[in-house]
Amino acid sequence: MAGYNVTDKRRVLLVDMNSFYASVEQAQDSALRGKPVVICGDPERRSGIVLAASKEAKAFGVKTVDPVWMVKQKCPQAILVPPRMETYMEVSVRILDIAKRFTPQVEVFSIDELFLDVTGTEKLWGDAWEVGRMFRRLVLEETGVRCSVGIGPNKLVAKVCCDNKAKKAPEGIWEWRREDIAREMHPLPVRELFGVGSRMERHFQSRGLVTIGDLAAYPLHLLRKRFGIMGEVFHLSANGIDYSPVTPNTFRQDMKGCGHMMTLPRDYETAQEVEVVLLELTEEVCRRMRRMRKGGRTIHIHCGYKGMTGGFSRQTSVPVPTNIAGDVYEAARRLFHQHWDGTAVRSISLSVENLTDDDEQQLDLFRDRERERRLAYTVDRIKERYGNTALVRAASLTRAGQAFERSKKIGGHFK
C-alpha cells in the first residue's frame, strides 16, 4: 500500500482454545464428553450467565453471556457446570509452556488465546502450517483441549483469520497472506475487524461503511477528521496492516491502573453496607498494587443501581501516590457520598490509576507513612502464607461483607 512500509516476511499464529472452559471440563470428566455442557455462574447470586458452551450446546443456539434461564429454554438437557477458574488458569499455563517450545516470541492475549511469532523457525519446525499442526496435536495430547490456529503476516490478520476461517476449517488451521486480504477479509462485515465494537459499527454504518472493504476504501483524511489518530488505525487495520510485535510478558508491562469490580449478591440499600464492600475492594486493590510495587494517585469508583437503571462513575486524585488502604478508602468513600442519590446499589467497582513505582515516600509531619507502609506489606506476607482471610477487617464479619465469599474465587468465579 502506497505510503506504508508493508512486509510479508512475518508469520504470526493466533491460537484460540475452542470453548475453553467447557473443553477443559469435558477433557477432565469423560461423562461430559459429547454432552451439551454450559459453564455458568450462580444464578442465586446474580452471576448466572454463560461463560462458555461446548459445541454440543452451541448447536442449540446457546451463546456466551446468555442468562441461565435462556439456556434452559434453548437447551433443556444442558448440563450446567460451575466455573473452576484455578483449574482453567493451570491448563492455560500448561498451554503457554507448550507454545514456548516452538518460539520465545509468545504473547498471552487472553486466558484462551496466544500469539506466536514463528518467523525464522522454519529450519527447526517447518512452515507455519506445520507448527500449527504440531501445536494442536501437543495441546490435545497433553490437556485434552482442541484449538484453532489462524496464520497471518501480523497479529491482526491472524486474529481475524482465526475467528472467521480457522474455526470453521476441517483441520482447524487457516492462513491469509497479504494477497488474500482483499478477497477474504474485505467482504466481511465491519464488526469482524478487530477493535470494532457495536458502537463503532453503528458509526461506520451511518456513513455507509458496511464491510471491512468499505472501510479500507474510505478516504483516509475523512477518517482522520472524524476519529483523529484512531481513524488512521482503522484505515491501516482494514487494509490488513499491523506493525505491533508479538510481545512476551505483555501483561507485566506498562500497567496504568489496578482495579476490582463486584456484582453484589443482593441490592445494597444503605450507605453502611456499600461502605463495607468499598473497603474490601480497597484492600484488594491496594494489595495488588503493593505486589507490583506500585502506588497510584487517581481513585475511580463506579456504582451501578438496581435493575441496571443508572448509576454513576466518578474519580478524584490524592496529593501523593499511595497504596495504603486508608488513603484510598477515604477518597473513595468521599466520592460515594458526594454522588450517591440513595438508590439501591447493584454493583460497585474501584480502581486506582496513574501508577508510579513505590520506591520513594513523601514525608509527612503528622503521620508515619513509612510505618504504615511496612505494616501493610507485613499483612500481605501473612495473607500470602495463611490465606486471604487470615486477617480481615471487622466490617467483613457483618452481613454486608463479601471477603470470605471472594476468598473462594478467582476473577469473581469459584476456583
Binding residues for Mg(2+): 16, 112
> How far is CA 387 from each of CA 29, 270, 322, 379, rounded to the nearest angstrom?
29, 30, 24, 11
Q: How far apart are CA 356 and CA 328, in angstroms?
A: 15
Catalytic status, residue 113: yes
Helix (H) or strand (E) holding 220, with range, is helix 220-227
Q: How far apart are CA 266 and CA 253, in angstroms?
A: 37
Number of other CB atoms surrounding residue 308 within 10 Å: 9
> How far is CA 281 from each of CA 138, 287, 316, rounded to the nearest angstrom?
40, 10, 17
Options 107, 113, 273, 280, the catalytic residue: 113
Q: How far apart are CA 260 and CA 278, in angstroms?
A: 10
Show Cβ contacts of residue 45 under 8 Å, excluding neighbours closer than 6 positions: 263, 265
Cell readout for 206 is 451511518
The secondary structure of 2-68 as a DSSP string is: TTS-------EEEEEETTHHHHHHHHH-GGGTTS-EEEE--GGGT--BEEEE-HHHHTTT--TT-BH
Cell readout for 369 is 507513612
Strands 50-53 and 12-17: unpaired
Contact between 23 and 144 under an 8 Å Cβ cutoff? The reply is yes
Strand partners, 115: 14, 107
> How far is CA 211 from each of CA 51, 168, 173, 227, 239, rounded to the nearest angstrom?
29, 20, 24, 18, 12
Cell readout for 83 is 466455573
N residues, the chain? 415
* Residues tagged active-site: 113
